[in-house]
Structure 1
């Protein structure tokens, strides 16, 4: 099943074997080299507390309105965790970043990211081209594949990837069958 990151953030966690205190997903950690979700953040790090997360493989099921894990042992510190690679980042850092093609052509801003719930593989960048275009055309989907380069202000995709962009994913044109 394909889910959007924004649909997961804010969902509550349900433990099957015991009552856990109320927890919800704060963010998703992904590998920049494998393009996979590695963990679901449930507690941001603070001065004297490490960031806590559920390793992706410990998720039993993604429900419509919750995420199911076995027990509290699934919750681990992110710091020095062997299940999370060194070049990992949080998904929310990508939201709002400009997407450009290698030649400099601007496609839009990252609005969301889709991923496969069984494997954690990142599937698409959901891009906004502005409210008017989003309303009329829908938001384009950019398949996530190598190479994908990122600097501080933008995400750069290859010209080969730009040819695979899925346009007209919704919007009024599609609803009203104006194509």
Structure 2
């Protein structure tokens, strides 16, 4: 698994380890399928024009960058209608507010965890507020059928949210050695 933010800035390389003059700007998400459709890429210093790589065309992820078979797999967004449509919608997911079905704000998406083989979003990394983040670190919420992605936010069943959330056990509690051994909040 890899955080969605870890794609950003990654160089694109060919299968023969030839470094291409492209880097990743951001993942392109499809909220209805809870997966990454592709990567938005740009050439270094040459142009402001944006290109895309379909996720299914990625051969490997290694310490040198993101591996594709051939440079011809870097396309203009209009060549891939599904990706072009996603780019015309709000699909960033990062920054989406998470609301319970009753309308109460329960968190904000800070990142995603992605299964590298399938491109599926497995978990959301969320903030539950400054104090909670400071004391416990960000939390992880596994994706499930109880999540409804709207245009700019996410609706969840609050009970399933509370029962499904996994705390990082980070923040000040970890630094000070006073980790919490249960899911109880401060």
Question: Normalised by the size of structure 2, how large is the TM-score?
Answer: 0.78
Shift of 1:153: 4.2
Give per-residue Cα distances to partners, 1:27-81, cap 9 Å, x unaligned.
111222211111111139xxxx974211111111112451111210221222252
1:28-107 → structure 2 map (5 Å cutoff): 28-43=27-42, 51-81=50-80, 84=82, 88=86, 93-107=92-106
Distance 1:119 1:155 in 2: 22
Structure with the largest fraction of helix: 2
Structure 1 segments, 4+ long, off by >3 Å, are: 17-21, 84-92, 150-153
Partner of 2:174: 174
Aligned residues: 173
Partner of 2:158: 159
Q: Give ranges in structure 2 of 5+ residues lacking alignment.
A: 181-186
Question: Normalised by the size of structure 1, how large is the TM-score?
Answer: 0.80
Distance 2:37 2:60 in 1: 15
Distance 2:142 2:9 in 1: 25
Distance 2:170 2:91 in 1: 23
Q: Give ranges in structure 1 of 5+ residues lacking alignment.
A: none
Please provide the CA RMSD for this pair: 2.8
Contact 1:168 1:174 in 2 (8 A): no
Distance 2:83 2:25 in 1: 19
Shift of 1:139: 0.7
Shift of 1:148: 2.8
